[in-house]
Chains A and B, each alone.
Chain A
């Protein structure tokens, strides 16, 4: 008549097993290595496609000739890198780069501020205001402006009419105008 409120199930055992498995999984942490890049270069002489009569070794050799090694000192990825302020404080992350018609970078879009992803704003910063000397070594970009100085900047919106980039106050440059 009186029903037991509890019933024996294998769930208890399953929980114990799960705990053990998670312990094993937690140990498997793979470190990531960073390698220098090699890029396919285009402007080297003697790299035009040759008639297919050329021996295969020659083709491979030529292919190797238009590969240019780039160390992290020469060029480093910038998307997702931290932007540090004058006192080493975290300002935000580089999320995009605005380039002109020559492919030259004009401004970096920075996702600025926020806490755990809440309340951040995207702001365009003049490329010339950024210092990239530590990028290859420490993976950070430095900006000589404090949080308060860039906080009031207009929010970056992709698409027309373009961005309004924050420039350093001592030498104000005209706002970047990216015609998209």
Chain B
């Protein structure tokens, strides 16, 4: 078995290079995505945009990102060079960042939002597919752990860098910086350029058998494990997404002069935790199974909600955010891993990723709206408890219905 596995992968030095390429790619892409987050609304405000205009632009981005998940997944499945997909996605990020920086007027901002929304949906699956090609299905868990480590380092550095850039230089400079960071991301792609699609290659799999060609889409959408997993992560995201903004809001209210610094801490602390533990989590998923990791990750959410609801000490809020890091590491690794377990050799890997991505997108969108409404109507603690209950539902669904998807070998 180990012999056939060794054959499936590139030469050792090339493999090491490809591994480093993936490290860099994850780091820089996470770095780039920091600039495209909630900061866009701050930037457009400084450009004299009204709140309604900003809301329209951001909603457009959200709608495009959701509507693109499935088509983008199918597209990535159909293109054999995932590096080419990644290249075009990153170039779209560069174009999007430059449009924001140079022409922050309605038409170009809408164009930038559409470009970014669609290419986010192609880049994530492409990186996962390249990881599968480099590591092979048997070692995908540890590889995704490494991806998560570098992505979180990129997120942390990105938050610090973009925050400083926005504060000391200008809001506009953040987008020039974002565009500049696409360059090292493209350089990281170089050792991955000659990677081939592993999905239909028999040598990638321990039993030497490829999938039966491209599976029909209907078989994917009736796959029980995929549906339950998508439902679990949707519930988890529904409970999770609004927690950081709510905590930030509380900090801005309670912490006075140091609020911004503490919110920065709330963003960076989970990234440190992810960077520290994600390789271990990746190994754990390989050795002890996906279910265990899923339950560990999910169960931090109700705990975090209850702690947020009961503690008001600003420093405590930052520490509680460490739990977010545990959840982020587990979910971040499991999404591409479980998708690979379920659809890795069906030729529908990226479509499955798109399906799970859509579930996450729905959860995230509903989460902020719902939590905002509950916080307005019943107060922030009630909103935290509500999010914790949704998190508990995610744990229960995962515990009672989610099958173990780790290939038995």
Contact = CB atoms under 8 A, between A and B. Distances in A.
Interface of A: 2-3, 5-9, 11-12, 14-15, 18-19, 22-23, 25-26, 28-30, 77, 79-82, 90, 93, 95-96, 111-121, 146-148, 151-152, 157
A30 to B, nearest CB: 6
Contact of B47 (A80, A113, A148, A152): A80
Contact of B49 (A7, A9, A23, A80): A80
B139 interface: no
29 contacts: A5-B15, A5-B196, A6-B195, A9-B83, A15-B186, A22-B179, A22-B182, A28-B102, A77-B48, A80-B47, A80-B49, A114-B42, A114-B248, A114-B259, A114-B260, A115-B261, A116-B163, A116-B166, A116-B264, A117-B40, A118-B37, A118-B244, A118-B245, A118-B263, A118-B267, A119-B266, A121-B249, A121-B253, A148-B256
A175 to B, nearest CB: 18
A28 B98 CA distance: 10
A3 B98 CA distance: 42
Contact of A11 (B91, B193, B264): B193
A40 to B, nearest CB: 20
Interface stretch (B2-10, B330-338, B356-364): B2-10
B252 interface: yes
Given A11-B87, A120-B252, 13 more contacts: A2-B7, A5-B9, A5-B15, A6-B194, A7-B194, A15-B83, A19-B183, A29-B176, A79-B48, A114-B42, A114-B259, A115-B248, A119-B249
Could you tell me the dominant secondary structure of chain B's interface residues?
A: helix
A6 B249 contact: no
Contacts of B207: none
Interface string B264-277: 10110000000000
B21 to A, nearest CB: 11
A22 B159 contact: no
A18 B247 CA distance: 41
Contacts of A82: 46
B95 to A, nearest CB: 8
Given A93-B46, A117-B40, A3 B248 contact: no
B123 interface: no
B46 A6 contact: no
B192 to A, nearest CB: 8
A19 B187 contact: yes
B267 A115 contact: yes
Interface in B51-84: 51, 81, 83-84
A3 B203 contact: yes
B87 A116 contact: no
B193 A18 contact: no
Interface residues of B, number: 70
A123 B86 CA distance: 42
Interface string B159-177: 1001100110000000010
A18 B179 CA distance: 13
A119 B187 contact: no
Contacts of A7: 194, 196
B251 interface: yes
Given A80-B46, A119-B248, A11 B263 contact: no
Contact of B252 (A79, A119, A157): A119
A25 B94 contact: yes
A116 B46 contact: no
A18 B91 contact: yes
B159 A116 contact: yes
B42 A152 contact: no
Top 9 nearest A-B pairs (CB, nearest first) are: A119-B248, A117-B38, A148-B256, A113-B252, A5-B10, A115-B263, A12-B193, A11-B193, A6-B194
B376 interface: yes
A95 B14 CA distance: 53
B256 A111 contact: no
Interface in B21-41: 34, 37-41
Contacts of B163: 115-116
A113 B259 contact: yes
Contacts of A111: 42, 45
Contacts of A119: 244-245, 247-252, 259, 263, 266
Contact of A79 (B50, B180, B196): B50
B167 A121 contact: no
B408 interface: no
B257 interface: yes
B51 A95 contact: yes
